[in-house]
Amino acid sequence: MATVVKKIKLQIQGGAATSAPPVGTALGPAGVNIGQFVSQFNEATKDKKGMVIPIELSVYDDRSFTFIMKNPPASRLILKALGLEKGANKPREQKVGTLTKAQVAEIVKEKMPDLNASSPEAAAKIIEGTARSMGIDVK
């Protein structure tokens, strides 16, 4: 049985992985077949085009690999819910939008498996804190 020799964490646009950096520079030294990874990742994320997908790649001693896809970062989900490109430059001084409790609940539902929270209420607090740090009010 193959043993894991390296774990690599990346964030890649769904359906848009290429062998160019950051993918190529992260996987090349690990001996991973970059073309094979790119095709597998793009196939698995073709329905998530435009979203940033964090992955955890395990490289084995026989140069094979497996990867686990996570949900997009909370900040990306918040921006998507509000239809924004980015958060505020100075979050304490300028507000760029308002997130409703219903939108927070939707984000929690999608993000819950990746969060270090024991309940949906605790997860909602994490999401609300992320939103506030981006210059977004929560009502």
pLDDT tens, position by position, 41-71: 888 888 877 788 889 999 888 888 888 888 8
Query: Do 82 and 133 have their domain in common?
Result: yes
The secondary structure of 63-96 as a DSSP string is S-EEEEE-PPPHHHHHHHHHT-SS--SSTTT---
For residue 49, what is the domain's CATH number?
Answer: 3.30.1550.10
Distance CA 69, CA 10 (A): 10
pLDDT band at 90 (very low <50, low <70, confident <90, very high): confident
Boundary of a domain, candidates 69, 89, 116: 69
Q: Which amino acid is at 33?
A: N
Query: Do 82 and 62 have their domain in common?
Result: no
Boundary of a domain, candidates 27, 44, 69: 69
Which tokens hold the place of 41? Answer: 């990742």
Query: Do 51 and 87 have their domain in common?
Result: no
Boundary of a domain, candidates 69, 91, 108: 69
- Total domains in the chain come to 2
Structural domain boundaries, residue 81: 74-138
Contact call for residues 120 and 128 (beta carbons, < 8 A):
no
The reported pLDDT for the residue numbered 1 is 65
pLDDT(30) > 70: yes
Query: Do 126 and 81 have their domain in common?
Result: yes
Query: Do 94 and 48 have their domain in common?
Result: no
Query: Do 60 and 89 have their domain in common?
Result: no
Which tokens hold the place of 26? Answer: 């992260």
Task: Give me the helices (H) in the chain, please.
Answer: 23-27, 34-44, 74-82, 101-111, 120-133
Mean pLDDT to the nearest integer, 26-36 = 85
pLDDT tens, position by position, 101-117: 888 888 888 888 878 88
CA 52-56-57 angle, 5° bins: 120
Distance CA 139, CA 94 (A): 16
Query: Do 86 and 29 have their domain in common?
Result: no
Query: Do 98 and 51 have their domain in common?
Result: no
For residue 90, what is the domain's CATH number?
Answer: 1.10.10.250
